[in-house]
Amino acid sequence: MSLKGKDLLTLKDWSSSEIYEVLDLAGKLKKENKEGKFHPLLKGKTLGMIFQKASTRTRISFEVAMWQLGGDALFLNPQDLQMGRGEPIKDTARVLARYLEGIMIRTFSHSEVEELAHYADIPVINGLTDTYHPCQALADVLTIREHKGGFEGLKVAYLGDGNNVAHSLILACAKVGINVSLACPPGYEPQEEVVEQALLSRLVPTSEITVTSCPQDALKDADAVYTDVWASMGQEEEHKERLQKFMHYQLNMDLLKQAKPDAIVLHCLPAHREEEITDEVIEGAQSAVMDQAENRLHAQKAVLALVMG
C-alpha cells in the first residue's frame, strides 16, 4: 500500500492497516537508529512547519526526524508569513506547495488545517489543533505496543479533559483494537461524534469505548493510565475554575492502585505536576512518559517517510 501524498489531519481518515504500517515502520526505524543506521529516505526534500501554538516536542521531533531522514525542515512563524498579515490560507497553501514537499501545521482551529490541505497538493500533517492531535496518538499506541507486546485485550484508561489528545487517543485505540475508558468531569466529556466515529471504525467489533465521571471505575483493570493537563493552550483563563472541577481526577498513587499492578503511566507533556499528575507517579517505576515523548520522533519519522517519500 502507498501512503505517498496522503494528509494526516485526523486518524478518522486513516485505516487500521495504515496505522499499523506507520507503527511497524516506526519500530523498524527506531531499532535501526539505535544501531547507528542512517535512513536518507527524504534526501533533498523539505518540510515546512507552521507554528501558531508554542511547542517543545513537536518542533524538535519534526526537525530531528527530517534531519535523520536526510531532508530539511523550515520553521515558519505565522508572524513572519503573509498569512499572519491577512493573506488567505488558500494562497499560502498553493505557494508553499510550489516550494516544499510537505507541510506540518500546529494551530488552533481544525478548519484552518482542513483548508490548508484542500488547497495544497502536497501532504499536510496536523501537528495539533484544538480538536485533534493525531501524531501524539500514534506515539501513544507505539509506546503501549512496546511495553505490552501487542494490543489484544488491553484497556487504556484516560483521566481528565475530553480534549484533542483524548479524541485522537480514542480513534487510535479503536483502530488497533484497544478498549478505552475515559473519566471526565460532567461537561468535559469528549465530543459525541468522535466517540461514535471511533465505534464505527473499531478493528475489533467487541472492543469498548466507555465514558464515565468516576475515575475509579475507569481505572479498574487498566493496562495503561493516561492523563493530560486540565487547561490546554488557549484555556488559561479557565485554569482556576478547572482546578476545582478536576481535583478528584488527579492521577496519584492511591488512584493508580485501581489499575493493574503492571499498568504503565502515560502523559503527553508538558505536565503540571501536582495538578493532573503527582510527581511521585510521573517519576515512578510505572511511568512510560519519557518513552512516549521519544516515540513522537519515531512515529513522526514513519509518517514523514510514508507520505513524503
Does 241 lie in the same domain as 170? yes
What is the pLDDT of the chain when averaged over all its residues? 96
Q: pLDDT tens digits, residue range 286-305? A: 999 999 999 999 999 999 99
The verdict on whether 136 is a catalytic residue reads yes
Burial, 270: exposed, middle or buried (Cβ in 10 Å; 0-12, 13-18, 19+)?
exposed
> Residue 157: which pLDDT band, with cuts at 50, 70 and 90?
very high
Does 149 lie in the same domain as 113? no
Mean pLDDT over residues 230-256, rounded?
A: 90
> Among the options 52, 296, 298, 300, which is catalytic?
296
> Among the options 133, 145, 242, 267, which is catalytic?
133
Domain harbouring 184, CATH code = 3.40.50.1370
Does 304 lie in the same domain as 288? no
Examine residue 3 and state whether it is found in any structural domain, yes or no: no
Q: pLDDT tens digits, residue range 6-22? A: 999 999 999 999 999 99
Examine residue 2 and state whether it is found in any structural domain, yes or no: no
Residue type for position 245: K
Examine residue 77 and state whether it is found in any structural domain, yes or no: yes
Q: Side by side, which strands form the sheet with 155-159?
A: 209-212, 179-183, 155-159, 224-227, 264-267
> Among the options 167, 268, 292, 300, which is catalytic?
268
> Residue 81: which pLDDT band, with cuts at 50, 70 and 90?
confident
> Among the options 106, 167, 202, 298, which is catalytic?
106
Does 287 lie in the same domain as 301? no
> Among the options 52, 136, 250, 286, which is catalytic?
136
**What proportion of the chain, given as a percentage, has pLDDT over 90?**
92
Number of domains in the chain: 2
> Among the options 135, 223, 228, 300, which is catalytic?
228
Does 251 lie in the same domain as 149? yes
Does 286 lie in the same domain as 165? yes
Q: Which tops the pLDDT comparison, 92 or 234?
A: 92
The verdict on whether 296 is a catalytic residue reads yes
Does 184 lie in the same domain as 117? no
Expressed as residue numbers, the domain containing 110 is 11-132+296-308
Mean pLDDT over residues 156-173, rounded?
A: 98
Does 197 lie in the same domain as 91? no
